[in-house]
Amino acid sequence: MHAVAEFMELVEGAGALPQVRVIQGPSSEPAVTIDGREVLNFCSSNYLGLATHPEVKESVVDAVREYGVGANGSRLVSGTTDLHIALEEATARFKHTAAAVAFPTGYMANTGTIAALAYVPYFARMAGLPLASGAREMVVLSDALNHASIVEGCEVARARQVHYEHCDLDSLEAKLRQNEGKRLLIVTDGVFSMDGDIAPLPGIVGLAARYRATVLLDDAHATGVLGRDGRGTLEHFGLEGGADILQMGTYSKSYGALGGFLAADRTTADYLRVAARPYMFSGAVPPCLAAGILKAMEIAEREPQRRVRLLRNRDYLVYGLQELGLEPLGSGTPIVPIIIGDDDSAAAISDELFRRGILAPCVRWPAVARGQSRIRLTLMASHEREHLDRLLEELAVVGARHGVV
């Protein structure tokens, strides 16, 4: 452990140890309490404001009384309840797929799905079931800015990983052309969590069809937000799903709870239940949370104005930032990053904003590339116009002091 201690001394000496703010009470409200002081919260992914909705909380409490606080087993042992089945059926209906598989977290949904798809020949050999198609190598083509769960899924999978330039269709096609004849899986975020931009999905789907590739779409930050009915990136672009488009998503963003899912055709879903290790060897999402998610999904469907208000908040904030002379990244999503560049400057701006009552953490390496540190703002439907005005006022003062505005 000497190496660990030595490394941590260096991290602390460099001032690179992440600062954790301890919130007293709900962490997903527009205003939260830290150290006994109220600050405005601009870093929650509770996009639709449903995490503390009274009906959601009541559903969870009722389910706790009936089911207890945990599933107390993996899904293949004793962890599957009727609420889990209902959640998967509701997710499949929402995503317009034949089936869905719920995972304990979105991170597990990505790592488990990628590894399971790459392992098909290995599982076949292990089971003594020869594949007529042979055991062709699987190549995972991953956007350079994909989420860490995708990166890790590629690393643990028995597959070759190829990165293409961020949202660059020419780069993707060049990599596809180089790997023709192999089993190809294109993996992309729908909405990129650190930049707030949207993947060029029509072009990706078109290339996938041309090169006979499967697409795994990480729709964690798009589900509940993008599209006419909030179904995600496919709906945003007016695209239809299919057997060669797998949709991953989370219940921890728009639905304010915990868990992830993979929506797909029935055969792929059934395969993941016996091949995705995070599904097989982790405790299931607590039934009480499944009940809360179901209620949150119901509310989101009957109250589309939440999504409208969220995106209006985004447009209002971006316009205000541009009036200050700032050019935030992203387009049309509730993730609004402001590039600062230097690590120390970004941390100093975040600290000063906090002292002035604004919770807006800085994000730096390794979450983003070196020299790309940023203040990453996220918005919720529950933010009021006065919250956004206060944020803009404080950014104007702090930004001017640090030479950003």
What residues in the chain have per-residue pLDDT under 70? 132-135
153 three-class SS: helix
Axis-axis angle for helices 287-302, 305-323 (nearest 10): 80
Fold designation for 14-43+304-401? Aspartate Aminotransferase, domain 1 (3.90.1150)
The predicted-structure confidence for 174-232, as pLDDT tens digits, reads as follows 999 999 989 999 999 999 999 999 999 999 999 999 999 999 999 999 999 999 999 99
Dihedral of the alpha carbons of 68, 70, 75, 80, in degrees to the nearest 10: 20
Count how many Cα atoms sit within 13 Å of the Cα of residue 154 in the half-sphere of its side chain. 21
Residues facing 363 on adjacent strands? 374
Task: Using alpha carbons, select from 266, 291, 286, 250 the residue that is nearest to residue 108.
Answer: 250
Provide CB contacts within 8 A for 213, sequence distance 6+: 141, 176, 184, 185, 186, 207, 244
Does a cis peptide bond (omega within 30 degrees of 0) precede residue 361? no
Cα-Cα-Cα-Cα torsion 148, 154, 155, 160, nearest 10 degrees, comes to: -140
Cβ-Cβ contacts under 8 Å for 383 (sequence gap 6 or more): 30, 313
Q: Is 139 helix (H, G, I), strand (E, B) or coil?
A: strand
Please name the helix (run of DSSP H) or strand (run of DSSP E) that holds residue 273, with its range, or none: helix 266-275
**Strand runs labelled E in 237-346:** 245-250, 260-264, 335-341
* pLDDT at residue 138, as a whole number: 87
Cβ burial, residue 91 (10 Å; 0-12/13-18/19+): buried
Q: Tell me what pLDDT residue 132 has.
A: 64
* Amino acid residing at 9: E
Domain ranges of the chain: 14-43+304-401, 54-302
- 246 φ, ψ to 5°? -100, 130
As a whole number of angstroms, the distance between CA 84 and CA 91 comes to 11
> What pTM, to 2 d.p., does this model score?
0.94
How many residues belong to the chain?
A: 405
Count each helix (H run) and each strand (E run) in the chain, helices first: 15, 14
The pLDDT value recorded for residue 9 is 84
Q: Tens of pLDDT along 333-382?
A: 999 999 998 888 999 999 999 999 999 999 888 778 888 899 999 999 99
Q: What's the pLDDT at 135?
A: 61
Q: 259 vs 156, 252, 404, CA distance in Å?
A: 21, 6, 38
The dihedral formed by the CA atoms of 332, 91, 201 and 187, expressed in degrees to the nearest 10? 120
Closest to 18 measured CA to CA, from 8, 4, 27:
8
Class of domain 54-302: alpha beta
pLDDT in tens, 221-235: 999 999 999 999 999
pLDDT of residue 133: 63
The CA distance from 176 to 180, in Å, is 6
Walk across the sheet containing 373-378 and list its strands: 335-341, 373-378, 362-363
The predicted pLDDT at position 134 comes to 59
Q: Which of 290, 295, 294, 258 is nearest to 71 (CA)?
A: 290
d(CA 48, CA 14): 38
What is the predicted pLDDT for the residue at 20? Answer: 86
